[in-house]
Amino acid sequence: MGDIDALYREYGKTVYFFLLSVSHDEGLSEELTQETMFRAIMNIGSFRGDSKITVWLCQIAKNLYYEHQKKSKRTVPYEESATQLDAGHDIASDLEDKETAQQILQYLHELDEPYKEVFMLHALGDVPLTQISKLFGKSDSWARVTYYRAKAMITEKLKEGMK
């Protein structure tokens, strides 16, 4: 039991805030954080050590969130945004606006892999692109290009939604 407590104290907030940024549900984030920590302890032997433990934990959390979404068959509600998006606007700043954040999450949900995962890890989980490249076993430039393309796809869909 001490292992779970130590792991939770050290990394619980990071995992919780990652899940909260994805789900926008405090209760669900708390529940999935606990399950993430439990699974991490149960599967600590599968941690290869080629990335930070926070990356590994966020990967487990992301998979648990996807499992939850499949089971509940919920989709993120799509809401029309009244805010106009100018060409120089950054997606990260849009995440603070709830309506735009809901749209971004909807568009993110529609992205194919690996774009969806790379964008979530970097933009929502604050995982550095160098760590993401190691997680995927790819080059740093691959991670940068994949993130840029995902961001461009979401931005384009946001612009189309504004018309």
The model's pTM is 0.45
Domain with CATH 1.10.1740.10 in the chain: 1-74
What are the start and end residues of each CATH 1.10.10.10 domain in the chain? 79-163
CATH topology of domain 79-163: Arc Repressor Mutant, subunit A (1.10.10)
Q: What is the pLDDT of residues 37-81, one digit of tens each?
A: 888 888 877 777 777 888 888 888 888 888 888 877 644 444 433
Contact (CB, 8 A) for 32 and 64: yes
**C-beta separation of 157 from 76 below 8 A:** no
Three-state SS at 62: helix
Cis peptide bond upstream of 77, omega within 30: no
CATH class as words, domain 1-74: mainly alpha
The tens digit of pLDDT for each residue in 77-130 reads: 444 333 333 444 455 555 555 666 677 777 777 878 888 888 878 877 777 888
DSSP code at position 122: I
